[in-house]
Amino acid sequence: MSETADQWGQLMAAAQEGHAAAYRRLLDEIRHWLKGFYARRLPPGMVDDAVQDTLIAIHEKRHTYDPERPFRPWLMAVARYKWIDRLRSMSRSRTEELPEEIAVEDHESSVTSSVILARLMTELKPAQAEAIRLVKIEGYSVEEASERTGQSGSLIKVNIHRGLARLAAIVQKQADVE
């Protein structure tokens, strides 16, 4: 994604200078990426609308992109805000109660894992937890995490290494107790 994001940044810079073909290519490539992004986060019926809303937001906010900065964090921010908007609208919309006969997959293990991970992350130093969250959970590159946190790239790597080692020690200690 990093190389693609660099290309997208170049396309956005060209689009800001008025190159329509670069802008069309950028929006087409982003559309495909956004579909995957939202497919993992929203119900299938909401994906296309979320993609369109995000493309409109990108169009309206394209002047705010700074070509001197990485493109992916800017894109991720826009996509995240639109995702949060969708989640809020879902909570406000009325839903019908499902009949008891409909089988629903059990999500207990996913929820439990998420809660346990959140608790474990509180045992780390904030810089370690942030580095692990950005790189290992949210998928940012080391360079992007460095820019977001102000830590050097090597410090991000050290914080990830030490944080993961600390988490492993905590889990091992708990396993020994049980």
Q: What residues have CB less than 8 Å from 78, skipping those under 6 apart?
A: 54, 57, 58, 61
The pLDDT assigned to 103 comes to 65
Is residue 104, in this structure, part of any structural domain at all? no
What is the average per-residue pLDDT within 58-76? 92
Identify which of 59, 60, 39, 61 has the alpha carbon closest to the alpha carbon of residue 50: 39
First to last CA, the chain: 41
Structural domain span for residue 149:
109-177
The CATH number given to whatever domain includes residue 86 is 1.10.1740.10
How many Å separate Cα 51 from the centre of its chain? Answer: 15
pLDDT interval class at 6 (50, 70, 90): confident
7 and 35 together in one domain:
yes
Q: Is residue 97 part of a domain?
A: no
* Segment among 65-74, 96-105, 143-152, 156-165 with least mean pLDDT: 96-105
| Listed range (7-16, 101-110, 111-120, 127-136) with the worst mean pLDDT | 101-110
Q: Please name the amino acid found at residue 23.
A: Y
Clarify whether residues 79 and 114 are in a common domain.
no
